[in-house]
Structure 1
């Protein structure tokens, strides 16, 4: 197979969230490939990078998970500014917010100023999720159900791959089609945008709900990095301040989640709603 490709672009900023290292659902091989072929002046790790919730139940730490950690540390050593904003699944890191370890700055939240002058609040987003804040037992239950859906989805897509069919996500389908889930996502986006507006920011970058998005919410930029369990996406800022979502891509006709050979490809995903990339 011809692996020739143009030199990858260097971005001003990359945001990655919801990797969930330490779980079977984590697509560490794909993320490692993405990190090998995408560089940035600043890399934000926007929470749930390591899944402490699942690690308490069972140990699913592969060599590829170590490789991702080492790759991030290597980028930091080579001059990339790395900022780690812990989420609810890696909340054990929150007591260390304000400290720097191995060239990685751990912060409860961060402020990012784009090349075109916009001030963005960077936060994982769980602080604005009422389930996490007021019914954590329900969040644990939801996490277990999500893990079960991923297991079911894995077997289903193995069959689809054998039939030459593309990957199909049950959890994403449920998020988009189930009314309560759709309402939750819409409310989450609105609450995050309102918080950014209240604090004088031009926009917010978050993770948490595993749904990559760039859109305008009543004049405020809302951007979500997505995840590295299913959507395999990152948020990128170009040198001129434009934002776009990058999606890791596998070989044509193969499910990216089940491919055994990662390719250095990433495709932009169109933003929805009012132009948020260059406002």
Structure 2
């Protein structure tokens, strides 16, 4: 059972002309410094616009064929996709969405990378296809909840609105089949750097983008020699003591807040490190990302939580990381 938390809705800006993509119709992303994106909603909060994905990508695209999914879960959590950035592994995500289905789908922030799109327009067809695939799942009955993060924070002004079959929320609560109540939030609001030194966050994002560029070239070479995907950027990050300490502190802050809210656990993203573990009696779950780890958090119909890694196209990794305890 899913419960959607409410936040104070803000007035939706009036519509302006769009010259590139209708993606902002779906997620309400305002990129004021990117002239290619503009609003086309123009609806009051009490009457959210009905938006379809028909104009987001050509119909009948072979990559979007609705073949039966090989794996069906009760719930899937995805975050940190970073559509609109060069680091987004959209083809791997499309493959995952094709072979995996669920009753509930939570998009836990940083779905679109507004920071990168402000620097320059980057929107290949595969990024359109990801949006189209999510829209198709929503139209076919999957309950989709979108919780914006810091890279798509402009969408937070659309909290409590529905764009077609996508519901935008500041946070959400989900009860697993095992009876565990989970608090779902991106996590950036509990990151001191993001909240108090945003210039430093922007600088870090620039350096991180360079590392991801190195990671892409590294894996292209590996692919030519027949090796599977391996995240060099994630390996380097986990060797830096300060990064490891930051991750550890972030995890503790998130579980402390979940406990304060009376929840049994938390599901978040933000730090690009997939994880399931118990921290002082509170379950910490991070669904990872689709620029480095290529991972998702899933709930089975037995109430078990797992991290699924999708690092081989059209060939799912069957050895998923399981939770230490059923949740």
Residues 67 and 165 (structure 1), Cα distance of their counterparts in 2 relative to 1, 3 Å cut: closer
Aligned position for 1:3: none
Aligned position for 1:269: 320
Residues 52 and 194 (structure 1), Cα distance of their counterparts in 2 relative to 1, 3 Å cut: same
Does 2:170 align with 1:108? yes
TM-score using structure 1 length: 0.89
The number of residues matched between the two structures is 261
SS in 2 for 1:108: coil
Does 2:76 align with 1:25? no
The CA deviation at 1:166 is 4.6
Aligned position for 2:131: 69
Aligned position for 1:39: 101
Give me the CA root mean square deviation: 1.7
The CA deviation at 1:150 is 1.1
Does 2:262 align with 1:211? no
Tell me, in whole angstroms, the C-alpha distance in 2 between the residues paired with 1:41 and 1:184.
34
The CA deviation at 1:79 is 0.5
Alignment of 1:225-264 (within 5 A): 225-250=287-312, 262-264=313-315
Alignment of 1:80-119 (within 5 A): 80-119=142-181
Conservation of the 8 A alpha-carbon contact between 2:69 and 2:98: no
Tell me, in whole angstroms, the C-alpha distance in 1 between the residues paired with 2:274 and 2:149.
16
Tell me, in whole angstroms, the C-alpha distance in 1 between the residues paired with 2:133 and 2:200.
34
The CA deviation at 1:132 is 0.2
The CA deviation at 1:241 is 1.0
The CA deviation at 1:270 is 2.2
> Highest Rg: 1 or 2?
2
Q: More displaced, 157-166 or 184-193? A: 157-166
Runs of at least 5 residues in structure 1 that lack an aligned partner in the other structure? 1-5, 251-261
Conservation of the 8 A alpha-carbon contact between 1:215 and 1:271: no
Conservation of the 8 A alpha-carbon contact between 2:82 and 2:110: yes
Does 2:106 align with 1:55? no
The CA deviation at 1:268 is 4.0
Conservation of the 8 A alpha-carbon contact between 1:193 and 1:217: yes
Tell me, in whole angstroms, the C-alpha distance in 2 between the residues paired with 1:12 and 1:264.
21
Tell me, in whole angstroms, the C-alpha distance in 2 between the residues paired with 1:75 and 1:52.
24
Conservation of the 8 A alpha-carbon contact between 1:22 and 1:65: yes
Tell me, in whole angstroms, the C-alpha distance in 2 between the residues paired with 1:23 and 1:219.
37
Aligned position for 2:49: none
Conservation of the 8 A alpha-carbon contact between 2:149 and 2:188: yes
SS in 2 for 1:56: helix
Tell me, in whole angstroms, the C-alpha distance in 1 between the residues paired with 2:189 and 2:265.
17
Tell me, in whole angstroms, the C-alpha distance in 2 between the residues paired with 1:48 and 1:7.
25
Deviations 1:100-140 (A, max 9, x none): 11111100000000011110000000011110000000000
Tell me, in whole angstroms, the C-alpha distance in 2 between the residues paired with 1:243 and 1:195.
20
SS in 2 for 1:201: coil
The CA deviation at 1:164 is 4.2
Tell me, in whole angstroms, the C-alpha distance in 2 between the residues paired with 1:166 and 1:72.
26
Runs of at least 5 residues in structure 2 that lack an aligned partner in the other structure? 1-67
SS in 1 for 2:245: helix
SS in 1 for 2:160: coil
Alignment of 1:195-206 (within 5 A): 195-206=257-268
Tell me, in whole angstroms, the C-alpha distance in 1 between the residues paired with 2:211 and 2:69.
38
The CA deviation at 1:155 is 2.2
